[in-house]
């Protein structure tokens, strides 16, 4: 899916900076290469070192003078060029007036001038010229050429950067034209049925505006997609780009921000101006919270650039000028920190919550991601969906990808259910710590600790069913007892929460009963049990002493600095009583776990011994051990 989207690159709204030294433009090579090729000929032309004629020996030259065959000579340094009346050796290739040359010995010859005067030879003298080689000339001119080229390239780059300074406020959004549709459509978006219906209405309005305008309906100006990370907000936006027959602008909230104050506001203006020119159009702003945060708030006060950008965005969404032809779709996972002016009707009219998928949605998501993966016949996607509560769409995609990597690592052509199970443990618990060496005594303590969790979870009536118990050390734990809910839960009863605390404390109770001592292995169990007990007492009204009292522990926004000014809404005496109530609930649960494990000590031993032998027990093995030991 992603590879298809990358086949067609979207257009950029603004011009990016040119690369240094001219980028890929290399036209200067067309001038430099001919210059280098013709440099030897230019050297010959300017130095005058090319001479015509035939070289003869100095002895032969003297004999030609004695014969009177030399008409005139030209002397330049040690070289003598002579014009002869008759060619040397009477060669037919040399006509009358042929030239020859030779060199005077380095020690000189005073008699040669006397002979020339005696024979009445015309003598020309010229200054000596040293021959200049091509390489010597190249070495002299090459540094100059390099300096000229560097200066030209730097000047060109500075001129380009000067242009970019004035274009820094241009629109940086990616534009998807009608002819360059995204490959993702709503068929590729599994689950999210309510969100797709809401968004399809907007897409339908853009395709058939007259049908809605006849009855006086106006399309929402803004749609705000809210949900945890990985739930499909950006995927929905890509599907809109694939379904809508109008220009689609995509931009992240951080793309508006710049170090210069006013640049973000300029980019917002240019973005909406470009969209209005191509109206009707859709603008998608991802991570809206990076630019739409509450104004005038935060630990360090306001932020001028962000607030000016937000002010411009508010004006473009619903300002003095009408903006009926441009629809803005934004996504965020932090709606609590957005500015209230951004959320009012007329700007973002609809707030679509995209929550974690349910069991049915998870199955549909797995089916979409399993299209291009060869699954074995034993793979049941419905079972996998039930075994992955709390997984987002991105988590499910990663789960199948990890399973495919495991299958490929073992050189198999299909993905088995065991591959998916191992991938799920890897995602939830981390990698196996194969290099970790645990001695026999510690391994036995871990086995009894997990057996305590498993025994209490199997016997108590209001707990989630057991799924797996393992003492294989992983990245985040030395052992794990996994429970999976039989169905989706949205409300939790007091009995369920009390039994859950008992299960959390079962591991420490088992250590104390069997080894008459305790270890540090129950740290996370205590933390979660205390957090759950505090929620029951302070927020959920599940305390007999406090009844419907709420401590007012509303979650504050750390980004807005509200936690620093938070005031407790109850007295010190009430806080002391809340702590006592929490401790009483934990002591009661600990006592219940101790009584339960003491009563079923044989079952505890059976589970621990099986764990020491196999290291991991599945649901059927656990059922057999518990039912056989309890006689049920």
- What are the backbone dihedrals phi and psi of residue 554, each rounded to the nearest 5 degrees, phi first? -70, 140
What contacts 342, CB < 8 A, 6 or more positions away?
Answer: 288, 292, 310, 313, 314, 317, 348
* Distance between CA atoms of residues 249 and 9, nearest Å: 13
Distant-in-sequence contacts of 541-547, Cβ < 8 A, 24+ apart: 542/494, 542/497, 543/581, 543/585, 545/577, 545/581, 546/577, 546/578, 546/581
* Distance between CA atoms of residues 507 and 451, nearest Å: 7
Check residue 49 and report its DSSP letter: -
How many Cβ atoms sit within 10 Å of the Cβ of residue 362?
A: 27
* Distance between CA atoms of residues 453 and 533, nearest Å: 18
Pairing mode of beta strands 350-353, 281-286:
unpaired
**Rounded alpha-carbon distances, angstroms, from residue 519 to 315, 436, 510, 514, 574:** 61, 19, 11, 12, 33
Instruction: Please tell me the chain's helix, strand, coil percentages from 3-state DSSP, rounded to the nearest 5.
Output: 50, 10, 35
* Distance between CA atoms of residues 293 and 303, nearest Å: 10
Check residue 180 and report its DSSP letter: G
* Distance between CA atoms of residues 431 and 438, nearest Å: 17
Picking from 77, 127, 119, 72, the residue whose alpha carbon sits closest to that of residue 100 is: 72
Q: Please list the active-site residues.
A: 450
Whether residue 226 contacts residue 354, with contact meaning beta carbons closer than 8 Å, is answered with: yes
Picking from 307, 299, 331, the residue whose alpha carbon sits closest to that of residue 257 is: 307
Residue 17 class from Cβ within 10 Å (0-12 exposed, 13-18 middle, 19+ buried)? middle
Strand partners, 174: 12, 250
Residue 105: both structure tokens together = 């010995």
Residue 601 class from Cβ within 10 Å (0-12 exposed, 13-18 middle, 19+ buried)? middle
Total count of residues recorded for the chain:
632
Radius of gyration, alpha carbons of the chain:
44
Residue 201: both structure tokens together = 């209405």
Residue 572: both structure tokens together = 């010190």
- Tell how far CA 13 is from the center of its chain: 21
- Side by side, the strands of the sheet bearing 480-483 are 480-483, 466-470, 616-618
Whether omega for the bond prior to residue 280 falls within 30 degrees of 0, making it cis, is yes
Would you say the C-alpha torsion 152, 154, 159, 163 has a positive or negative sign? positive
Residue 121: both structure tokens together = 């030879």
What contacts 501, CB < 8 A, 6 or more positions away?
Answer: 529, 532, 533, 585, 586, 589
Give the residue carrying structure tokens 């510690």: 442
* Distance between CA atoms of residues 243 and 10, nearest Å: 16
Longest dimension (CA), the chain: 145
């Amino acid at each position: 899916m992603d590879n298809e989207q990358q086949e067609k690159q979207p257009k950029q709204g603004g011009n990016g900076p040119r690369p240094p030294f001219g980028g890929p433009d290399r036209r200067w090579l067309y001038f430099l290469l001919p210059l280098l090729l013709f440099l030897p000929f230019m050297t010959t032309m300017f130095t005058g070192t090319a001479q015509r004629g035939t070289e003869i020996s100095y002895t032969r030259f003297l004999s030609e003078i004695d014969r009177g065959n030399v008409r005139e000579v030209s002397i330049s340094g040690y070289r003598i060029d002579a014009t002869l009346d008759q060619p040397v050796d009477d060669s037919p290739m040399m006509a009358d007036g042929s030239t020859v040359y030779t060199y005077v010995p380095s020690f000189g010859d005073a008699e040669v001038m006397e002979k020339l005067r005696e024979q009445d030879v015309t003598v020309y003298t010229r200054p000596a010229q040293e021959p200049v080689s091509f390489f010597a000339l190249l070495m002299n001119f090459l540094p100059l050429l390099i300096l000229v080229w560097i200066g030209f390239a730097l000047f060109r780059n500075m001129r380009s950067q000067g242009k970019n300074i004035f274009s820094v406020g241009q629109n940086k959004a990616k534009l998807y034209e009608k002819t360059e549709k995204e490959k993702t459509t709503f068929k590729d978006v599994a689950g999210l049925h309510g969100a797709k219906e809401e968004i399809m209405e907007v897409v339908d309005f853009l395709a058939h505006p007259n049908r809605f305008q006849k009855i006086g309906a106006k399309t929402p100006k803004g749609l705000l997609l809210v949900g945890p990370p990985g739930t499909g907000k950006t995927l929905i936006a890509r599907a809109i780009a694939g379904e809508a027959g109008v220009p689609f602008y995509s931009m992240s909230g951080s793309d508006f921000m710049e170090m210069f104050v006013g640049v973000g506001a300029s980019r917002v203006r240019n973005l909406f101006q470009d969209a209005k020119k191509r109206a009707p159009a859709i603008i998608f702003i991802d991570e809206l919270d990076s630019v739409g945060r509450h104004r005038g708030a935060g630990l360090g006060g306001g932020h001028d650039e962000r607030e000016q950008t937000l002010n411009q965005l508010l004006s473009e969404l619903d300002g003095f000028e009408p903006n009926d032809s441009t629809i803005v779709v934004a996504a965020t996972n932090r709606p609590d920190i957005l500015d209230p002016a951004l959320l009012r009707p007329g700007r973002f009219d609809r707030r679509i919550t995209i929550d974690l998928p349910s069991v049915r949605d998870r199955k549909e998501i797995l089916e979409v991601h399993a299209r291009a993966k060869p699954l074995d016949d034993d793979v049941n996607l419905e079972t996998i969906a039930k075994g992955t509560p709390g997984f987002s769409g991105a988590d499910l995609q990663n789960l199948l990808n990890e399973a495919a990597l495991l299958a490929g690592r073992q050189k198999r052509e299909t993905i088995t259910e065991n591959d998916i199970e191992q991938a799920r443990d890897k995602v939830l618990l981390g990698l196996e710590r194969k290099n970790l060496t645990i001695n026999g005594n510690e391994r036995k303590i871990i086995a009894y600790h997990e057996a305590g969790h498993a025994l209490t979870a199997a016997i108590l009536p209001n707990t989630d069913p057991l799924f797996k118990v393992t003492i294989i050390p992983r990245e985040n734990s030395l052992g794990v007892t996994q429970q999976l809910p039989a169905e989706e839960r949205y409300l939790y009863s007091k009995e369920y929460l009390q039994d859950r605390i008992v299960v959390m404390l079962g591991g420490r109770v088992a250590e104390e009963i069997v080894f008459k001592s305790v270890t540090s292995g129950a740290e996370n169990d205590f933390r979660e049990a205390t957090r759950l007990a505090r929620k029951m007492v302070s927020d959920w009204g599940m305390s007999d002493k406090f009844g419907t009292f709420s401590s007012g522990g509303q979650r504050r926004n750390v980004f807005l600095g509200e936690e620093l000014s938070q005031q407790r809404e109850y007295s010190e005496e009430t806080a002391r009583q809340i702590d006592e109530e929490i401790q009483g609930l934990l002591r009661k649960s600990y006592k219940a776990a101790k009584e339960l494990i003491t009563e079923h000590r044989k079952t505890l031993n059976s589970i621990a011994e099986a764990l020491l032998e196999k290291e991991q027990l599945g649901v059927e093995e656990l059922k057999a051990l518990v039912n056989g030991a309890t006689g049920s």
